[in-house]
Amino acid sequence: MKIGILGGSFNPVHKGHLLIAETVRTAIGLDMVIFVPATVPPHRKIKKLASPRHRLNMLRLAIKGFPEFRVSDIELKRGGMSYTIDTIKYFKKELGARNKFYFLCGTDNIPELPFWKEFRALLKECQFVFYNRHGEHEKPLEKLAPFVDSETLKSLKKHFLDGVIINIAATDVRRRIKRKEPARQMVPEKVLKYILKNRLYA
């Protein structure tokens, strides 16, 4: 099987996350996409992080109607900092190393990649698939040139989906909810109802 992994804080999950997962799934023929909420993202500072329980519940609500989508609480159970290589190794052990694993990664993460835990080993454990956050093209990948060989860089460029542009940010969703502004266009309806019911981000 071809399995996609989409990690993040999902604080909250929004329609952009679902668009990323579905677009990548259809583009490269993934059999499954697993959403993996992080306990503490190591490379991001988030001031108002909803509890793991709430973020997990919101994800489960969001993926209803998407039979190829799954949610894993592995990083929440593990606790502490969440590192991608540990998560990929876990899934390879649990689901079988003969499956092919793809890590879905926003272009805004590219400058940080060389500083991720065991970055070079991670490139061997899975195939990265890059998607646009704000309309960038392949140029961000050139920032990896000092850290990888030319063949690796060429391989990474093969899985750069420059047609996927995500203009929704969880920060904007939280801001809108705090200000009691409409957020229906950004968040699945069931998730929005959950947020309001539990007074999250108020």
Q: Examine residue 188 and state whether it is found in any structural domain, yes or no.
A: no
Which range marks the domain in which residue 148 is found?
2-167
Q: Examine residue 190 and state whether it is found in any structural domain, yes or no.
A: no
On whether the CB atoms of residues 19 and 166 are closer than 8 A, the answer is yes
Q: Examine residue 186 and state whether it is found in any structural domain, yes or no.
A: no
Per-residue DSSP letter, 81: B
Q: Examine residue 199 and state whether it is found in any structural domain, yes or no.
A: no
Containing 11, the helix (H) or strand (E) segment is: none
pTM value is: 0.92
Q: Examine residue 90 and state whether it is found in any structural domain, yes or no.
A: yes
Cα–Cα–Cα angle for 155, 162, 165, rounded to 5 degrees: 140
78 half-sphere exposure, CB direction, 13 A CA radius? 18
pLDDT (tens, 9 = 90+) of the chain, 202 residues, equals 999 999 999 999 999 999 999 999 999 999 999 999 998 766 666 667 999 999 999 999 999 999 999 999 999 999 888 899 999 999 999 999 999 999 999 888 899 999 999 999 999 999 999 987 665 555 788 889 999 999 999 989 888 887 666 788 999 999 999 999 999 999 999 999 999 999 999 8
The pair phi, psi for residue 103, each rounded to 5°, is: -100, 120
The CATH number of the domain holding residue 118 is: 3.40.50.620
The total of structural domains in the chain comes to 1
On whether the CB atoms of residues 125 and 95 are closer than 8 A, the answer is no
Distance, in Å, from the CA atom of 27 to the CA atom of 151, rounded to the nearest integer, reads: 23
Q: Examine residue 87 and state whether it is found in any structural domain, yes or no.
A: yes
Q: Examine residue 197 and state whether it is found in any structural domain, yes or no.
A: no
